[in-house]
Amino acid sequence: MSEISTAITSGQRRRASAIVSRVLSYPAAYIGTAALAVYALVAQPNLLNPLLLMLILRQAAPLGIAVLGQSICIRLLSLDLSFGGVAMLTSYVLTSGLLPLPAPALITLCLLMGVAVGAINAFFIAQLRASSVIVTLAMVLILGGVATAFSQLRAPGDAPDLLVVIGQARIGGVPVPVLVWLALLIPLAVFLRTSVFGRYVNAIGASPRAALASGLPYKKVIFAAHIVSSVLAVVSALLILGVTGMGSLDIGTDLALNSLASVILGGVTFGSGKGGVVGPAVAAFMLMFCFNLLTSLGLGEPGKQMVQGAIIALAAIIYAANGAKQRA
């Protein structure tokens, strides 16, 4: 009888261990989102109201779009920290009135600026083999300096009506920024999973040296990734302007750090795309939900900074652990 009991207990332990291992194999974003939802159900059930969840999704949309580009860069053992500068200059160009052009022309100009910024970043990173951290941080300073200098002549003002309509409108109860996010996320996820480019990203992330030796277009892929990342940073800034309705030199300052945090939480690490595109997207929502929960608990900005700091520290550890691969 005791042998039967022992066998049953042993089987239960193995099943429990298997369940725990399977749960832990999922990206932290899934586990964290579930845990936050359970906590909110007990402590702040109002946050789970469908209307509030839609508002949080709308808040998460700009970050979720920026995360798409960041995740590709990180899978290629690179980084894009220039989001803040891109968003700042985009905000200034669109709201200052310095260029007397219609909104569609200004938006096109900003998108072209994103292409140029991404190409410049990629040139230094891929062609000159410079550190992506240093290059993209330098770009933040340059773009921020340009925007700040011109703001002495004319301060940022109201966002164009076209962007405000996009930022505030709903279709079937769903905010348009969320629909824009999905319209970019789903095709990109399919493209990375099924295209030759996606296979190149996986191969280069696994071993840049082997990819170069085998003749893969390493430089072209890096260029494409950083251009896409900068263009998506512009789109993210456009949505932020649409939601806030006002230009500011502070717009997008958290995009780089929050996008990095979302990618890591979403299961994408340097050289690995395990979390795919969906994992970082879930993490973007999780961060916005977490920040709203902290605000409702009275922690606000201090709590937000602590969460960001903890996640960035984790990202730094992972980045250092993969340093040898990045230099290969």
The parent domain of residue 255 ranges over 57-327
Phi, psi (degrees; rounded to nearest 5) at 272: -130, 135
As for how many domains the chain has, the answer is 1
74-132 pLDDT, tens digit each: 999 898 999 999 999 999 999 998 888 999 999 999 999 999 999 999 999 999 999 99
Q: What is the pTM of this model?
A: 0.87
Q: Which residue has the higher pLDDT, 316 or 121?
A: 121
Evaluate whether residue 14 is within a structural domain: no
Structure tokens at 314: 């984790």
At 325, the pLDDT band (50, 70, 90 cuts) reads very low
Q: Is the separation of the CB atoms in 160 and 103 below 8 Å?
A: yes
Evaluate whether residue 230 is within a structural domain: yes
| pLDDT attached to residue 190 | 93
Evaluate whether residue 50 is within a structural domain: no
Amino acid making up residue 275: G
Q: Residue 111 belongs to a domain with what CATH number?
A: 1.10.3470
Average pLDDT in the chain: 86
Q: Which residue has the higher pLDDT, 262 or 6?
A: 262
Evaluate whether residue 180 is within a structural domain: yes
Q: Which residue has the higher pLDDT, 7 or 45?
A: 45
The listed range with the strongest mean pLDDT (13-27, 108-122, 203-217, 271-285) is 108-122
Evaluate whether residue 109 is within a structural domain: yes
| pLDDT attached to residue 310 | 76
Evaluate whether residue 47 is within a structural domain: no
Evaluate whether residue 232 is within a structural domain: yes
Angle between helices 218-244 and 50-75 (to 10 degrees): 160
Residues 6 or more apart whose CB falls under 8 angstroms from that of 238 comprise 90, 94, 107, 110, 163, 166
Sole residue written with tokens 């979302």: 262
Evaluate whether residue 146 is within a structural domain: yes
Angstrom distance (rounded) from CA 229 to CA 321? 24
The separation between CA 278 and the C-alpha centre of its own chain, rounded to angstroms, equals: 11
Radius of gyration of the chain from Cα atoms?
21
| pLDDT attached to residue 11 | 61
